Amino acid sequence: MARCGSRATETLHLKWSDVDWGQQQLTIGADGLSKNYESRAVDFNAALAGLLEDMRSRSNGSAYLFPAPRMFREDAPARSLKEALYKARALAGVDGFGYHNCRHYFISHAVMSGIDYMTIARCGSAGGHLSLLTGMLQEGDQLCNGKLKVDKTRKVAAIVNWFGVTDFNHYPLPTQWFGDNIDTEEYIRTLSPINYVRKNGTPVLSIHGTEDPAVSVNQTISLHKKLRESGINEKMYLIEGKKHGEFTPQEFTQIYKETWKFLESAGVKTTVN
């Protein structure tokens, strides 16, 4: 998950047929079980390639990368990665590290590696949070007691936020993202995008399900209230009754239509009719 950005369910259902050694790519969600029902291909990085090679050398003939114990049953994926996660956590001496940290790690490194903005934004949640930070930070901003300082940065034309955390003051488990032995108050303040709303800021479109149990829709509502008060071009597209990104194909089609429309309003020319 930390090497390719996959979610827990997507990881459990990965098959060796999803690994293209020739093209050096891993296809996630080929079985249609991804959150948005779409597959995506991730190019190998050195860490991912090495990990897959090691796993292949220890494969027991299962079609799955993470197989369940056979026990005279048909080949099937493991039901959970919790035991492996707990063992790794104990060996590393890191408490509270969860699946979501793995995706956040991957997306953070994608940002630092210069991966294009729209690709990161589509990761949702952690990607939404980092897209907001990437687009709203300005030269001279400092984060985490000065550990991170924004140098020269290019102006972002618009931000598309898919149900990302906007204010860690109202997020129940910030330590799962930040780790231990930190100045929690400082991290919460400097890593909350809502604190970087400024006049003449970047236009923001947010997509959010109204019944999201992981990241409350109030996170988006509060951000857009502040954006509106600052005179920034903004729009919320809320999907009634939906949870954390569990949208139907029809809803995704409408979301993309709203996205192109908003980008045009922000002066971003698209090639979509």
At 224 the pLDDT is: 97
List, in order, residues 6 or more apart from 112 with CB less than 8 Å away: none
pLDDT band per the 50, 70, 90 thresholds, residue 155: confident
pLDDT band per the 50, 70, 90 thresholds, residue 118: low
Domains of the chain: 8-92 (no CATH), 116-265 (3.40.50.1820)
Q: Is 266 within 8 Å of 234 (Cβ atoms)?
A: no
- Tally helices (H) and strands (E) across the chain: 10, 8
- The mean pLDDT of 246-260, rounded to a whole number, is 87
Predicted confidence (pLDDT) per residue in 192-238, tens digit: 999 999 999 999 999 999 999 888 999 999 999 999 999 999 999 99
